[in-house]
Every structure is written in C-alpha cells, then in structure tokens.
Amino acid sequence: MEQVPENVRGAIEFDPWLQPFAQTLSERRYLADKWSYDIRHATPDNHEISLPELARRSYATYGLHPDVKTKEIHYKEWAPNAKRAFLIGDFNNWDQNSHEMKHKDEFGNFSITLPPNSHGDFAIPHDSKVKVVFELADGSRIYRLPAWITRATQPDTQTAKQFGPAFEARFWNPPERYIFKHKRPHINGKVDSLRIYEAHVGISSPEPKVASYKEFTKNILPRIKDLGYDAIQLMAIMEHAYYASFGYQVTNFFAISSRYGTPEDLKELIDTAHGMGILVLLDVVHSHASKNVEDGLNNFDGSDHLYFHSISSGRGEHPLWDSRLFNYGNFEVLRFLLSNLAFYIDVYHFDGFRFDGVTSMLYNHHGVGAGGAFSGDYNEYVSSDRSNVDHEALAYLMLANDLVHEMLPESGLTIAEDVSGYPTLCLPRKLGGVGFDYRLAMALPDMWIKLLKDKSDDDWQMGDIVYTLTNRRHGEKVVAYAESHDQALVGDKTLAFWLMDAAMYTDMTVLKPLTPVVDRGISLHKIIRLITHALGGEAYLNFEGNEFGHPEWLDFPNVNNADSYHYARRQFNLVDDKLLHYHHLNNFDKGMQATERRFKWLNTPQAYVSLKHEVDKVIAFERNGLLFIFNFHPTQSFVDYRIGVEQSGCYRIALNSDHSDFGGHNRIDESVSRYFTTDLPWNGRSNYLQVYIPNRTALILAPENRF
C-alpha cells in the first residue's frame, strides 16, 4: 500500500481492485478538498468559517431579506454582465428608475436597502410582485425574477393574456411565520432501517386537480404512517413553471412550488411528518435547470454563462433534456447550490436529499449514447483520461455531502440517482469516497418489467433474478425498489398494470371469484416486492399508490391530452373500498413494513442465498437470522420442501403472502405452523427444515425466540 496516496487509502483498502486508479481518485478528492479549504477561507480577512456557515451566510445575504427590527429590506443580486440594476414591483408602481441598486464590488454584486415607508412599515408589502431590471452595456434592459426569490406564483389569467404565462416573483414576508413544534426524528438512516415513500403532492388526490400541501398533510401523511414508512421523499417541490416536467425543469431554486400552497403550508407538512416520526427528504435537482429566461436562470444577466457553461463550449446544454447545465467550477455557482441545500435544511427542516440526475452530472457524456453503456470496467469511471468524468461536478457532489452531514451529523441523508455504478460513490468522504449514504438500485425495476413483458412465468430464471438483486458494490449501500415514479409515467406501465392490465377495471371485485389473471397479478405483485425489499439493498422505496397496485399510469396535463388531470392523480378511493382487492395489496405492503420494523433485515449484511432451483422455481436465503422462501412456480405447490438454514431451533411464520388478509388463499394454517430444524447439512447450511410452500407464495420464517 506504499504507493497509495493517503487521502484515498481507505477507499483502496475497501476495494483493492481500485489500486491501479489510486492516483486518479486522489486527484479527484484533492480538488474537492482544495475547494473546501478555499471556500472556508473566502472571507475578506481570510478568517476560517465552516461550510455550513458560508452556505447560511449566502442565503441570508443574497435575495430579498426583511429586517424585523428596522423594517428595512435588503436585496443583493449577482449579475456581473449587467451595467446597472433596478428593483421594481407593485411597491413602486413598476417605476423602472426609482430604485437603482448599488454596484458595490468587483464580483458583479448589486445591492440596495429599502428604508421603511412613511407608515413605518416595510416598503414592499407581503406577497406583492417584484422584479429586477438589468441594463446592459448597449443600453438595453432585461427583466428577471430575482435568482434567490423564495416565492414564485403563476400569473392570473388576465396577466397571462397580457404578458405571457411566465411565473411572477413575490416578496414573501408573512406577518406570522410558521413555528415548528416537533424535533427531527431520531431515525438514523446510517444505522436504522430506511423505508421510503416517494410522493408527489400535486397528484395526491383521487380528484382530477392539483392537490395542496394541506391536503397532503391531512389525507396522505396518516396513510404513510399507517403503512409503516419512516421516510418520505417529496418530488416536484422546487418551483417549476411547467407542471408536466414532473418537477425536473426547475426555474426558481429557492422557491417551493406555489401550486400546492404557501411556504408556511409546506413547513406544516414537514413538521407534522416529524411529529409522526417520519423523515422528509427533498428530491433536489442540481443536475440541470430550465431554459426559461423570463422566470428562470437562463441568460439571467444577459450572458449565457452566468450560472451555466456557455453554449459555445459545448457543455452548456443537456443533449436530451433541453435544459441548461451548471458550471460547477465557478465559485458563485458553488455558493448558490450549496446555499440552496442549507436553505432547505434550515428553513423547511428537510432531513436530506435525493440528488436527481447524478449520472448526468458525473460524466461529460451525461450517460447518453455509447458513453452511457456502462459495463462495470473501472476504466469507464476512474481512468486517468479526464474526458469521461466531470471532475468539477464530482467535487461539487463531495462538498454537498460534506455540507449535509456537517449540518445534520446524526440524521442527514443523501441518496444518489446513479445508474452507472460509479465506484466509491457511497463511501464516506474521509475514506476518499464521494460521501453519499445510498444510491438507487436502478437495475431492479428494469429487470422486473423485462420479465413481465418478455418472458412467460415458466421461463423466469431464478439465478438471474438473484444475480440482479445482489449484483451491487457491497459496502456501498443501495435503495432497492421494484418500481418508482419512472415506471408509473405514461409510456410505461406499473407492475400491477403489466400483471393485470384491463382486468383491473373489471375483475378486482371481491364479490366474484378470482380470475386467473387477477390471481396471478396479486400473487406476483406481493412476492416481487418482498424479494426486492429483502434481497435488493439496504433501504427500500415505494412510489405513491404502487403499494396497492394503482391501476393507471401518470400523465400530467399537456397539449397531447387536452390539459386533462384525469391521469395526474392517485385513486386512494380504490384502496378504501373493501369490496376491491386493492386493499389486500395495501394490507400486504403494511405487513411487509411492519415485519421489517419488527425483525430487521434492511441495513444488515447481505443475505446468504442457499437455493436457486430453476425447475421448482424456488429461492431461499437467510438475512439477519430470518429465513426467506419464495415459490415462483405458477402451478406447483410443495409439501415438506427441504430448506437449508444455518441457525438451529424452532421457526415460526413472520409473514405469509398467501394469507387471506393479503388476498391470498389461506392455504397455510399459521396457528399450528412450527418448523423444527434437523441437524444435517443441506445446501451449504448446517441444518435444514421442511416446509409447505404453495405456488406463487412467499414466506418469512423467524426463530421462535424472536417473537
């Protein structure tokens, strides 16, 4: 190990196959560490400050800020390409010259302080409209929403007709701000189980409309709590002008979406979740930004390279997303993005982030085309050739993880949406890793859909299923999921729809016998989710509605569907109707989460798989002392089936997917089901037991002394 640089020694000891690439890894960590040092000493007197302190100072300085004591309003904006700047709005009747900002420093920062009005109150009324005007070198003027604005709203119909549909910036200064009542939950996602409920506030209603924060707080949070999830991942929170972008074309990074309500409403939602013991994660979009000019960051100060790489550089636009790409090597961009994270932690009490588009950030090819065909060869990730990996974006991600974990050392969580399998992504920074706590196991839903779409049940290969579920960098934790929002979007199908399709409209009633299609669908929906939960990772994620087999895809209102909200909703009314089988799937999801919470298997060492029988279609494995048995066979049940197990003793059923509460056939009498081991080796284990496993059924057995 003498040749290994000290700053990545831990990563090499973790994975010795990385040793030939140690120098490259060291250079990447050094860049982040250098930036961290420079940022911490960025004060005029070179006085060292912490990363959180710099981030907090920035969001407290830039943008519009009321002083409750003096009733002054301070506004600061970075726009180096502008010659002059003016603040305009309802408060000065949109006078373009009355409130000129001072060009204070050599970095291009404009600022202004508005004294109290004649009544001794703030000069800008609460929730009134504002804009900033920049005069360019040629004398022309451009109109923008302040980059750090904390509230942006859709224009009323008349304004939209006159001036277009661009969002409007508002000065958010409520006379009474929401006061948080609950502390952050004591869930430690680095140690405890993490069961994540991915949700979109706007679709969280059976009605064809945009649901509100308050409705989500009242109607959906209790459902999530009842199901047993301990974290919520909120999508589409950062303001986006185009609803159908699913929140991934962000226009205003510090503003939460006004479609669902006010900032105080979102604070109440998060506070209520905390009172239920539920963490709240933000799906943060720092991988790209909307191209909108009038209400976004694009061409903000008249140049195309303020927050982004220039168009002419070839790095300023995403080749598929029609969006702008940040210049992570610019100090002011780092300040903006890091402050954005700190803002959501401090102001809204988010507990961490799911970082969108990490694959796009990591690679100069953005995972597109031939460059995105990752084979697992380390040269694709950590070769000395700098053309593949964006070192500056990687350094930003390292700093972002530093910031979150410094601000929330006990509970802060970061999750990377990365399909590439970049090594060290989820290793701690101190070891030389990027610092994420988890990455999404993005290959798993693809596997299930390919099986359902392309193969008959008889052709499913147990070995292939196990391989995909376990093929990951052990020691770098992943979030397993059978389907997320990606699989729910129009153009694809949810697992339930792949399984049952049109039968979901006609045959889900309990008032008539199960049809073969629905029987198969309900059975496979349950065991697919359980084996993914138990074998696929160290955390688990479910997308809103999929827990009960939501029958339809997601399609947001757009020109192609006549602006309809019919498919932009979640039909919770279906699960509440006890005459439909949806409530059985919901019961199973609840039972699965409760069993994990009681016996624990997430965030424990990888399972030992003792059986992958291709003819019988049976998989068996042990994890954290529990025995998991899956019979995928479409027709064959087995009596006294022999299963190897390491720990001797008596076992009982902890979860049975065939239970009638879960829409099963109740073929196992759990009241008398006790399984005693025999002291003879079997399938590489020291003991075996014999068990009845009906077709298309999953069982979890636990040692009797754990009940």
DSSP string, 124-185: S-TT-EEEEEEE-TTS-EEEE--TT-S-EEPPPHHHHHHH-S--EEE----SS-----SPPP
pLDDT at residue 134, as a whole number: 97
Q: Reply yes or no on whether the pLDDT at 707 is more than 60.
A: yes
pLDDT at residue 4, as a whole number: 92
* pTM given for the model: 0.96
Q: Which two tokens stand for residue 119?
A: 């009544």
The CATH T-level fold of domain 54-170 is Immunoglobulin-like (2.60.40)
Q: Reply yes or no on whether the pLDDT at 376 is more than 90.
A: no
Question: 477: Cβ–Cβ under 8 A, 6 or more apart, which residues?
Answer: 426, 437, 438, 439, 537, 538, 539, 603
d(CA 545, CA 431): 39
pLDDT at residue 164, as a whole number: 54
* Beta carbons of 192 and 539 less than 8 angstroms apart: no
pLDDT band at 159 (very low <50, low <70, confident <90, very high): low
Helix (H, G, I), strand (E, B) or coil at 410: coil
pLDDT at residue 138, as a whole number: 96
* Beta carbons of 523 and 657 less than 8 angstroms apart: yes
CA dist list (Å): 59 to 147, 150, 354, 425, 644 = 11, 10, 21, 28, 58
Phi-psi label, residue 644: left if phi above 0, alpha if psi -120 to 50, beta otherwise: beta
Q: Which two tokens stand for residue 560?
A: 């192609």
pLDDT at residue 160, as a whole number: 53
Q: Identify the DSSP state of 183.
A: P
**Any idea which of 36-40, 212-216, 322-326, 522-526 has the lowest mean pLDDT?**
36-40
Q: What is the pLDDT of residues 2-31, one digit of tens each?
A: 589 999 999 999 999 999 999 999 999 999
d(CA 439, CA 426): 7
- Which residues in 332-350 are b (16+ Cβ under 10 Å) and which e? bbbbbbbbbbbbbbebbbb
Of the residues 301, 356, 390, 392, only one is catalytic, namely: 356
The CATH T-level fold of domain 608-706 is Immunoglobulin-like (2.60.40)
pLDDT at residue 1, as a whole number: 47
Nearest to 279 by CA among 237, 234, 231, 347: 231
Nearest to 362 by CA among 398, 312, 333, 332: 398
Q: Reply yes or no on whether the pLDDT at 34 is more than 50.
A: yes
Q: What is the mean pLDDT of residues 154-174?
A: 77
Helix (H, G, I), strand (E, B) or coil at 530: helix
Q: What is the pLDDT of residues 527-584, one digit of tens each?
A: 999 999 999 999 999 999 999 999 888 999 988 899 999 999 999 999 999 999 999 9
Nearest to 482 by CA among 441, 422, 423: 441
Mean residue pLDDT across the chain:
94
Q: What is the mean pLDDT of residues 229-239?
A: 97
Where do you find CATH 2.60.40.1180 in the chain? 608-706
pLDDT band at 297 (very low <50, low <70, confident <90, very high): very high
Q: Which two tokens stand for residue 249?
A: 């074309």
- Which spans in 41-163 are helix H? 51-61, 157-163
Q: How far apart are the first and last CA of the chain?
A: 47
d(CA 497, CA 436): 33
Phi-psi label, residue 432: left if phi above 0, alpha if psi -120 to 50, beta otherwise: left
Residue 589 annotated in active site = no
Q: Give the helix, strand, coil percentages of the chain, each rounded to 5.
A: 35, 20, 45
pLDDT at residue 158, as a whole number: 57
* Beta carbons of 257 and 265 less than 8 angstroms apart: no
* Beta carbons of 237 and 183 less than 8 angstroms apart: no
* Beta carbons of 258 and 152 less than 8 angstroms apart: yes
What is the pairing mode between strands 413-416 and 352-355?
parallel
Percent over 90 (pLDDT), the chain: 88
Percent over 70 (pLDDT), the chain: 98
Of the residues 135, 295, 390, 417, only one is catalytic, namely: 417
Where do you find CATH 2.60.40.10 in the chain? 54-170
Residue 356 annotated in active site = yes
Phi-psi label, residue 391: left if phi above 0, alpha if psi -120 to 50, beta otherwise: alpha
Question: What's phi and psi for 187, nearest 5 deg?
Answer: -70, 130
